[in-house]
A and B are shown apart, each in its own frame.
Chain A
Amino acid sequence: MVQPLNLLKETPSQTAGPYVHIGLTANYAEIKGIYPEDIGAVMLTDKTKGERIKITGRVIDGAGTPLRDPVIEIWQADANGLYNSPEEKRGKADENFLGFGRCACDLETGVYSFETIKPGAVPFIDGRMMAPHITFWVVARGINLGLHTRMYFGDEEEANASDPMLSRIEQQVRMPTLIAERKGDTYHFDIHLQGDKETIFFDI
């Protein structure tokens, strides 16, 4: 025998279930008067620096049906590429931008949308710059462990082409699943759980 390492194991995940809105978006679930607002529902103030954009899309299952019950969270850097987090050691992020958004998909149409700013670029582990991107996390009934993915911007072709993470994807044919198309100020980003267009999900 050898000495034990004494490491604990992470708590196992369980699905967020169909009533996730009660816990994460109580006001949206029409449970009023407990919280003044749902966290992450409004990402911007007048003072937030950066280009205003909208991100919208749906989460689609293996039968092509949009899910109407997911909750999506996003996490992103500010316009200068700084995260509003104690872990950010490179400088001070915009104090008028937390960078966290949370949105329940519409209970009828399945559409989600975020009004936010376009993030600046942040570095990869080796110091090279990554293309601007937003981290996505999707939970819903039937999803047993929250799904991590990333959204890149379709109008950042050059930065995307040299992105150290995108270029690591072996199946380059799937890479476009991470790229949102721009129309006006709106980026469209559908997340496919299965099928030909299955989104790349990350184990990070």
Chain B
Amino acid sequence: MSDFENKPGVPENGAFFPRDLEMHPPAFYPDYKTSVLRSPKHARLSLNNTISEMTGPVFGHNMLGELDNDLIHNFAEAGQSAIGERIIVYGKVLDERGVGVPGALLEVWQANAGGRYRHKKEGYIAPLDPNFGGCGRVITDEQGNYRFRTVKPGPYPWPNRVNDWRPSHIHFSIFGHAFAQRLITQMYFEGDPLIWTCPIVATIPDKRDIERLVAPLDMANTIPMDARAYKFDIVLRGRRSTYFENRREGN
């Protein structure tokens, strides 16, 4: 893989590898009923990357508050903490070449330990936790690593078919270095039987790709008497390197 490494001086301005639309969920998936009227019917128009997609906003570590990566405390009253199973979620953001992505902004959101979101449109009877807001953010380090602390979210029922329940999950929004890499996904937890009954999970066609969203319990990174750890690596689109300049179209 060393040929692909992001060496200083090698411009990272090649186009991104095309997105594998067969791997991602299709727009139209009737078991997830909301997708029916919200799925474009035309094929997406394929377009070579231009500078408009190969660039993107970069967010500096200085925007982060001290508790941004600590959902147990970032909304809690002084001296209080969120209720629930204390966990650490950590991992690495890589691109498809296996290169760590430094400076990636991850924004995460989730239900509380009882499966309830702090949101106006939320109707589940489980109680709010006064000390839990449900959002956090972190920026990857030089190697692409990140970690945050939270409580394990509870599963929750949702109006779709008569008795659909979401497995425990954390939503992730990721900014890499380019708008072409923009991605929103969800992390699930090893061993949760609800993963295999959920129509949102099932929008992903291949079981092996679903498994890439399931974070294993990692006892090696667990803090004894404090918090268990779950590992979740994220892969963003990779790009061609430009050791040899492409012949420019039209020249």
The answer to whether A and B interact is yes
Contacts from A to B (Cβ < 8 Å): 6-24, 26, 29-31, 33-36, 39-40, 61-63, 65, 67, 69, 73, 75, 77, 83-89, 98-100, 107, 122-128, 130, 133, 135, 137, 139-148, 150, 165, 168-169, 174, 193-194, 198-204
Q: How far is the CA of A17 from the CA of B54 in the complex (A)?
A: 26
Q: Chain A's nearest CB lies how many Å from the CB of B65?
A: 7
Cβ contacts under 8 Å, B21 to chain A:
145, 203
Q: Chain B's nearest CB lies how many Å from the CB of A137?
A: 6
Q: Chain B's nearest CB lies how many Å from the CB of A146?
A: 6
Q: How far is the CA of A169 from the CA of B44 in the complex (A)?
A: 11
Cβ contacts under 8 Å, A35 to chain B:
65, 68, 137
Name the 9 nearest CB pairs between A and B, nearest first: A23-B109, A142-B34, A85-B55, A126-B250, A144-B25, A142-B38, A100-B57, A203-B44, A62-B37
Decide: B120 and A9 in contact? CB cutoff 8 A.
no
Decide: B37 and A63 in contact? CB cutoff 8 A.
yes
Decide: B184 and A13 in contact? CB cutoff 8 A.
yes
Q: Chain A's nearest CB lies how many Å from the CB of B20?
A: 7
Decide: B45 and A144 in contact? CB cutoff 8 A.
no
Decide: B34 and A75 in contact? CB cutoff 8 A.
no
Q: How far is the CA of A199 from the CA of B185 in the complex (A)?
A: 24
Decide: A11 and B40 in contact? CB cutoff 8 A.
no
Q: Is B237 part of the binding interface, using a Cβ–Cβ cutoff of 8 Å?
A: yes
Given A87-B55, A125-B50, A13 and B11 contact (CB-CB distance below 8 Å): no
Decide: B11 and A128 in contact? CB cutoff 8 A.
no
Q: How far is the CA of A86 from the CA of B11 in the complex (A)?
A: 11
Identity of the chain B residue whose Cβ is nearest the Cβ of A39 in the assembled complex: B59
Q: Chain A's nearest CB lies how many Å from the CB of B148?
A: 12
Q: Chain B's nearest CB lies how many Å from the CB of A135?
A: 5
Given A29-B120, A85-B55, A203-B19, A61 and B37 contact (CB-CB distance below 8 Å): yes
With A23-B109, A123-B50 already in contact, 7 other A-B pairs whose C-beta atoms are closer than 8 Å: A12-B204, A22-B135, A34-B65, A75-B179, A84-B57, A130-B50, A194-B37
Q: 24 pairs across A/B with beta carbons < 8 Å?
A: A10-B23, A10-B96, A11-B235, A14-B171, A14-B200, A14-B201, A14-B204, A15-B200, A16-B184, A29-B118, A65-B37, A73-B182, A77-B52, A83-B51, A83-B52, A85-B178, A88-B51, A124-B50, A125-B249, A128-B250, A141-B34, A142-B39, A144-B203, A203-B44
The one of B44, B65, B238 that contacts A202, using a Cβ cutoff of 8 Å: B44
Contacts from B to A (Cβ < 8 Å): 1, 11-13, 17-21, 23-27, 29, 32, 34-42, 44-59, 63, 65, 67-68, 74-75, 94-98, 107-109, 117-122, 133-137, 171, 173, 177-180, 182-186, 200-201, 203-204, 209-210, 212-213, 234-238, 248-251
Cβ contacts under 8 Å, A202 to chain B:
44-47
Decide: B212 and A11 in contact? CB cutoff 8 A.
yes
Q: Chain A's nearest CB lies how many Å from the CB of B100?
A: 12
Identity of the chain B residue whose Cβ is nearest the Cβ of A87 in the assembled complex: B55
Q: How far is the CA of A123 from the CA of B51 in the complex (A)?
A: 7
Decide: A89 and B13 in contact? CB cutoff 8 A.
yes
Q: How far is the CA of A150 from the CA of B50 in the complex (A)?
A: 12
Given A11-B183, A13-B185, A107-B121, A204 and B47 contact (CB-CB distance below 8 Å): yes
Cβ contacts under 8 Å, B45 to chain A:
169, 200-203
Q: Chain B's nearest CB lies how many Å from the CB of A26?
A: 5
Q: How far is the CA of A133 from the CA of B177 in the complex (A)?
A: 20
Decide: A19 and B119 in contact? CB cutoff 8 A.
yes
Q: How far is the CA of A84 from the CA of B37 in the complex (A)?
A: 36
Decide: A107 and B184 in contact? CB cutoff 8 A.
no
Q: Chain A's nearest CB lies how many Å from the CB of B206?
A: 9
Identity of the chain A residue whose Cβ is nearest the Cβ of B16 in the assembled complex: A204
Decide: A142 and B109 in contact? CB cutoff 8 A.
no
Identity of the chain B residue whose Cβ is nearest the Cβ of A124 in the assembled complex: B50
Decide: B213 and A137 in contact? CB cutoff 8 A.
no
The one of A14, A18, A31, A84 that contacts B203, using a Cβ cutoff of 8 Å: A14
